Amino acid sequence: MDLRLDNVSHHYGDTEVFRDISLEIPSGQIVCIVGPSGCGKSTLLRMLGGLEQPTSGRVLQLGAPPQGCLNPLTYIFQDFALLPWRSVRGNISLVLEDHKMTPKAREEIIADVLARTKLSEFADALPKQLSGGMKQRVAIARALAVNPAVMLMDEPLSALDSQTRELLMDDLISLWTRQPFTAVYVTHNLAEAVRLGHKIVVLSRRPGQIREVVSLETPLAERRYGDASLEAQQQHLWGLMRDEAAAADAELLHV
């Protein structure tokens, strides 16, 4: 299942958040969205998942979601959004309880996603007992449990320290190589974008428009921390971003 944005524009009252965004999210690929603060990345992601409606333009879903998909468009949130009163198992079970399935089938899904995210030992822990990185792994496990067609991630790693971030990025890459998933990944961090993205969309400052779409050909599994060609891409992206960020800053001074 692909997603397509068709000339999407959005206003909040008088503020024009973004203008005329057209974008294709092909299945099996990770599309990263980068851009200066306030250019509407989170808003765009909310529209992709149906949590908000654009002022004009359309968000289209092309083709049917694959068999066995319980929640085609699934989010992973920056602040994890785990229910503090439910255990790790309970948090994953939450998103399955509204679907018709036998308790045994549900247990199997939970065991499977816990194993894939290396959390089996912590099934009965409460969120308050987990570190930030583990909480985000629980959120990833929860998203995997509904077998999504597209994962929508809004700065999923930015609440974590840089070592945990590296580890989780490796986890995401190995999850993807074992079973390619489609994802839209919003980030501030260009290093993350060049590690994970098949396509990197650079947005301009508000009103957000697409500045450039960079495609990276190196397979995910072969991208290494500190790789020279990735470094070059990152430099290029930073060149684009710097002008926007500087201009956005200057604008703030003039209000």
Partner 1 sequence: MSDPARSVEFRGGGFVAQRKRGVGLMVFIVLLLLAEWGTRTGFISALTLPRPSDVLLTFQELYQSGMLFKHLIPSLTRLVIGAAIGATIGITVGVLIGLFSLARAGLVPLVAAIFPIPKIALLPLFVIWFGIDEMSKYALIAFGTFTPTVVATYAAVDNVDRTLIRMGQSFGLSWRSIVAKIVLPGAMPGILSGLRISLTIAIILLVAAEMLGAEYGIGAYILQAGSLYDLERLFAGVVILSVLGVVVSGVIGAVERRVLRWRV
Ligand X SMILES: Nc1ncnc2c1ncn2[C@@H]1O[C@H](COP(=O)(O)OP(=O)(O)OP(=O)(O)O)[C@@H](O)[C@H]1O
Contacting residues toward ligand X, per CB under 6 A: 12, 15, 17, 37-43, 206
Q: Does 128 bind partner 1 (CB under 8 A)?
A: yes
Q: Which position has the token pair 């209000």?
A: 255
- Interacting residues with partner 1 between 179 and 198 (CB under 8 A): none
Between the alpha carbon of residue 136 and those of residues 111, 150, 195, the distances in Å are 17, 18, 18
Residue 33 Cβ vs ligand X, minimum distance, rounded to whole Å: 9
Tokens representing 202? Answer: 């650079």
Site string for partner 1, 82-111 (x = CB under 8 A): -xxxx-------xx-xx-------------
49 binds, among partner 1, Mg ion, ligand X, none (CB under 5 to 8 A by kind): partner 1
| 142 to 181: interface string for partner 1, x by CB under 8 A | x---x-----------------------------------
Residue with tokens 């957000």: 208
CA distance readout (Å), 139 to 24, 55, 114, 156, 194 = 26, 30, 11, 10, 23
DSSP strand pairing (56-62 vs 2-12) = antiparallel
Nearest to 184 by CA among 56, 66, 32, 74: 32
Residue 245 CB, shortest distance to ligand X, in Å, is 11
Interaction between residue 42 and Mg ion (CB under 5 A): yes
Q: Answer yes or no: are the C-beta atoms of 88 and 114 closer than 8 Å.
A: yes
Beta carbon of residue 163, minimum distance to ligand X (angstroms, whole number): 23
Please report how close the Cβ of residue 98 comes to partner 1 at its closest, in angstroms.
5
Nearest approach in angstroms of CB 144 to partner 1 is: 12
Quick note: the x/- pattern for partner 1 over 43-72, rule CB under 8 A, is ------x-x------------------xx-
Q: Is 73 in the site for partner 1 (CB under 8 A)?
A: yes
Q: Burial letters for 141-152: b for 16+ Cβ neighbours within 10 Å, e otherwise?
A: bbbbbbbbbbbb
Helical axes 162-178 vs 132-145, angle rounded to 10°: 20
Give dist(CA 184, CA 147) in Å, integer.
15
Distance of CA 197 to the CA centre of its chain: 11
Residue from 2, 6, 79, 227 in contact with partner 1 (CB under 8 A): 79
Q: Say how far residue 157 (Cα) sits from the centre of its chain.
A: 9
Binding site for partner 1 (CB under 8 A): 49, 51, 70-71, 73-75, 77, 79, 81, 83-86, 94-95, 97-98, 126-128, 142, 146
